Structure 1
Amino acid sequence: MVQRQQSVIDQALLDATTAAVTRWGLNGLTLDRVAEEAGMSRATIYRRGVTREQLIEALTAEAAGTYNRAMLPALSAPGTARERLELALQALCAAADDHLYLLAGMFLAHGEVFHQPGPDALVVDVFAEPFERLLRDGAADGTLRDLSPAITASALFNLVAWGYIHLRAAHEWNRDTAAQTILDLVLHGVVS
């Protein structure tokens, strides 16, 4: 009888995976590179029964948890939907900053983690849903335009998250400048 080995992913292995994604991007992530970043032999990582996909899934779950915790105050705060949307967009930037180089590495992988497959696919629901809710609330209370919530939420998430990540990681803008500039453009536009 062959017994399947339980995989062991601890925080040190997640940190090593983050370092490997930061250094080589998600497309360049291999178990050998994770082992190198963790300071262990390849044989050790293979004995743990860990796969590349499990590591990516664990990192994604960690980033999603940070994101979900960041969104809660904006979703439950008093005020208009427009005010809460601004809070949510600020929280998105802060959550992105917590995982900046990991997300930048994932961005270069052409959305391997964050998109559903198919020509009509939008952002994975867990990321777009808070913005859909705020957009619906804003259309109802008159503080936001009545737009397609699903499409607009996907556009908002991508515009703010990836724009912020790019300005922080590639251009090395500071947190406040990147967030304020993007949020001002998203919320107010450039047309007078």
Structure 2
Amino acid sequence: MQTPTKSTQKSRKTAENKRQVLMEAVTSCIKIYGLEKTTMENIAEQAGLSRITIYRKYSNRNNLISNFLAYRAEQFNAKIKAKISDCNSMEQALEIYFLSSAEQAFKDESVRVLVETSHVFKTILNGEESPIKDAIMETWQPLLKKLSADDAQILKIDDSEIINWIIIMQHNFSRMAIEAECSAEQIRQYIKDFVIPAFIIKASA
């Protein structure tokens, strides 16, 4: 295997730094203008980059927003992956994942704004390729593989179908928790009473 040169490593680091600056600019713009009113011009100005530079990487606004969602999903899933990878049941993993999702939505204003929009639904229901779906798939796939060895119900459902269900439920659940101003205990109870039974019904169908 060829060892990356110093110039290659520097180029990658520069690209990663530029991506981080851009994603943080999107975060700021969503807080200032709201998701629907945030424009590529707003983001470029906030990031200190030209629109041409952004368009070289992202073909349009929807593509940039999808990548922003993936960026936030990567941050969230990096923290949660180790926790759910040790789970011995889907029920346990779902409880940890959805509780952490709701807590994140309460803490992060940009996440709260995002769960109030239909962007995620449009992406999933239209069957579009989605960076956010890829990020969540990377988190869940190892666990699904492990659990399917002992659970025939999980084995018979396509991983992509499970991920779509998790994304949509995560969106709905976080939105409900925010609107109802639920406590951690109320959130945990809702997961046990509604989210987990919904998955069991889906797996049994």
* TM bracket (short chain): 0.5 to 0.7
Structure with the greater relative contact order (CA < 8 A, sep ≥ 6): 1 or 2? 2
Tell me the CA shift for residue 61 of structure 1: 1.9
Tell me the CA shift for residue 67 of structure 1: 2.1
Residues 25/177 of structure 1: CA separation in 2 closer, same or farther (3 Å cut): farther
Picking from 182, 192, 197, the partner of 1:188 is 197
1:80-120 Cα shifts (integer Å, max 9, x gaps): 45433433333343444443x323433425239x9479647
Instruction: Output the CA distance in 1 between the equivalents of 2:154 and 2:72.
Output: 33
**Equivalent residue for 1:3?**
none
Instruction: Output the CA distance in 1 between the equivalents of 2:51 and 2:127.
Output: 37
Instruction: Output the CA distance in 2 between the equivalents of 1:181 and 1:23.
Output: 34
Tell me the CA shift for residue 127 of structure 1: 0.9
Tell me the CA shift for residue 141 of structure 1: 2.0
Do the aligned partners of 2:29 and 2:43 also contact (CA within 8 Å) in 1?
yes
Equivalent residues in 2 for 1:77-156, closer than 5 Å: 77=86, 79-99=88-108, 101-107=109-115, 108=117, 110-111=119-120, 115=123, 119=127, 124-142=133-151, 145-148=154-157, 149-156=159-166
Instruction: Output the CA distance in 2 between the equivalents of 1:96 and 1:88.
Output: 12
Tell me the CA shift for residue 151 of structure 1: 0.6
Do the aligned partners of 2:70 and 2:133 also contact (CA within 8 Å) in 1?
no
Instruction: Output the CA distance in 1 between the equivalents of 2:197 and 2:128.
Output: 28
Task: Provide the aligned length of Structure 1 versus Structure 2.
Answer: 175
Tell me the CA shift for residue 124 of structure 1: 1.7
Residues 85/134 of structure 1: CA separation in 2 closer, same or farther (3 Å cut): farther
Tell me the CA shift for residue 166 of structure 1: 1.1
**Equivalent residue for 2:48?**
45
Q: Report which of the two has the higher share of helix.
A: 2
Supply the RMSD in Å over aligned alpha carbons.
4.4
Tell me the CA shift for residue 16 of structure 1: 5.4
**Equivalent residue for 1:24?**
33
Any stretches of 5+ residues in structure 1 without a counterpart?
A: 1-5, 39-43
Structure 1 SS opposite 2:36: coil
Do the aligned partners of 1:103 and 1:165 also contact (CA within 8 Å) in 2?
no
Structure 2 SS opposite 1:124: helix
Question: Which amino acid in the other structure matches residue 97 of structure 2?
Answer: A
TM-score between both structures, scaled by the size of structure 1: 0.60
